[in-house]
Amino acid sequence: MLVLGIESSCDETAAAIVRDGRIIESSVIASQIETHKKFGGVVPEIASREHLVKIVPVVEQAFSDAKIPKSAIDGIAVTNGPGLVGSLLVGVSYAKAMAYALKKPLIGVNHIEGHVYSVVFENPPVQYPALALIVSGGHTNVFWIPEPGKYKVVARTRDDAAGEAFDKIAKLLGLGYPGGPVIEKYAREGNPKAVHFAVPRMGDGRPDFSFSGLKTAVSKYVRETGISPAVEGTAPSQEIKDLAASFQDVVVRSLVGTVNSIAETYKPLTLIVAGGVACNQYLRSAATEAASSMHIPVYFPSPNLSTDNAAMIAAAGTAKLIAGERSDLSLNADVSMRLQNIEVEDDILRKTVKYKL
């Protein structure tokens, strides 16, 4: 089964052809990072205009790289939310037109579900129930997945996403954009224990995340200590590297600590960590350690499948098409689309869980 995936929810225009939901025949990603860099973040209006320019060549490239004629595909999967409305609409309109012209089935895919599926290409099959930490520039969630396609949000961020926090702190420290890779780079030369930041806890005891207070804490620290932010093009000071390392450490402690405590209750058989922030090696080693202490495997996508791509959308779409799901030509962009289709109470859910031990 060959499925074309199309992704344009934020600042990457991507198309991929995936065979049987697991084999990448081609994956093309046109990133707009250079365009948005000078603004220090994604400018929605510019993003949608760039998608318009790139969508046709990117899809054509996916077919020519895969050496597959358009008539050979069995379906088209497209991200239809969540994301930036103008960006999403480019992919959705293009996919609908293509599905109509080629008379192929169409399926809308939730971008976050796409990130969950990004682990299928390079890992053994996921064993369910699974727990997935999805950490990107726009989302930070822990999902309970008792079986494929069933999702319950067990933890979410109350404010900024983890990737957004990396981007904001990098800006504050004068390290540039996007923040994640540059913070990770300098954190390697810094001391993660140099500055102690407390893991934010929720007053209501829920296992949710909060990262906006950290930005205030880091900015207060910079003001009070008088350390100077880095100047673009020059190496940052040791204090900045220490601060970057300490910030990365608290974010990872928060993410992995939460996953750990949720896993103790839910007893998953597999841990999935995906999304742009999953490129971070410090997070990967902490999550690997946590999973090994739980005696379960942890699956990550490789870095080029961690950030936004269309192969993950094609994989998620394949599962839906196989399950008989279809979207029609009224498919629309849904900017705040949620990923949760389990409504039962936690305790009921836990009773249905098959424990490993």
Q: Which residues in this chain contact ligand KG4 in the complex, by CB under 6 A?
A: 10, 136-138, 163-164, 166-167, 178-181, 184, 275-277, 279-280, 307-308
Q: Whose Cβ is closer to ligand KG4: residue 38's or residue 295's?
A: 38
Residue number of the CB closest to Zn ion reads 136
**Which residues are CB-neighbours of 112 under 8 A, at least 6 positions away?**
82, 134, 139, 141, 339
| 105 contact choice in ligand KG4, Zn ion, none (CB below 5 to 8 Å, kind-dependent) | none
> Least distance from C-beta 313 to ligand KG4, angstroms?
12
Rounded to whole angstroms, the Cα distance separating 312 from 304 reads 11
* Strand locations in the chain (E): 2-7, 12-19, 23-31, 75-81, 106-110, 130-135, 140-145, 152-156, 270-274, 298-299
> Least distance from C-beta 140 to Zn ion, angstroms?
11
> Least distance from C-beta 177 to Zn ion, angstroms?
16
Tokens of 213: 């207070």
What's the chain's length in residues?
357
| Cα distances (angstroms) measured from residue 147 to each of 111, 151, 166, 269, 354 | 19, 8, 32, 11, 11
> Least distance from C-beta 102 to ligand KG4, angstroms?
28
Tell whether residue 136 is a contact of Zn ion (CB under 5 A): yes
Q: How many residues bind Zn ion (CB under 5 A)?
A: 2
Neighbouring CB atoms inside 10 A of 348's CB total 9
Rounded to whole angstroms, the Cα distance separating 79 from 15 reads 11
Q: Report phi then psi at 268, rounded to 5.
A: -75, 165
| 277 contact choice in Zn ion, ligand KG4, none (CB below 5 to 8 Å, kind-dependent) | ligand KG4
Tell whether residue 308 is a contact of Zn ion (CB under 5 A): yes
Residue type for position 159: D
Q: Whose Cβ is closer to ligand KG4: residue 44's or residue 74's?
A: 44
Q: Whose Cβ is closer to ligand KG4: residue 225's or residue 302's?
A: 302
| 279 contact choice in ligand KG4, Zn ion, none (CB below 5 to 8 Å, kind-dependent) | ligand KG4
Q: Whose Cβ is closer to Zn ion: residue 73's or residue 319's?
A: 319
Tokens of 284: 């990967």
Rounded to whole angstroms, the Cα distance separating 165 from 151 reads 25
Name the 3-class secondary structure at 125. coil
> Least distance from C-beta 352 to Zn ion, angstroms?
30
| 179 contact choice in Zn ion, ligand KG4, none (CB below 5 to 8 Å, kind-dependent) | ligand KG4
The helix-helix angle for 162-172 and 238-266 (nearest 10°) equals: 170
Are 76 and 105 in contact by the 8 Å Cβ rule? The answer is yes
Q: Whose Cβ is closer to ligand KG4: residue 75's or residue 276's?
A: 276
Q: Whose Cβ is closer to ligand KG4: residue 10's or residue 130's?
A: 10
Q: Is 231 exposed, middle or buried (0-12, 13-18, 19+ CB in 10 A)?
A: exposed
> Least distance from C-beta 111 to Zn ion, angstroms?
6
Per CB under 5 A, the segment of 11-19, 56-64, 116-124, 306-314 that binds Zn ion is: 306-314
Q: Whose Cβ is closer to Zn ion: residue 197's or residue 299's?
A: 299
Q: Whose Cβ is closer to Zn ion: residue 239's or residue 308's?
A: 308
The footprint of Zn ion (CB under 5 A) covers 136, 308
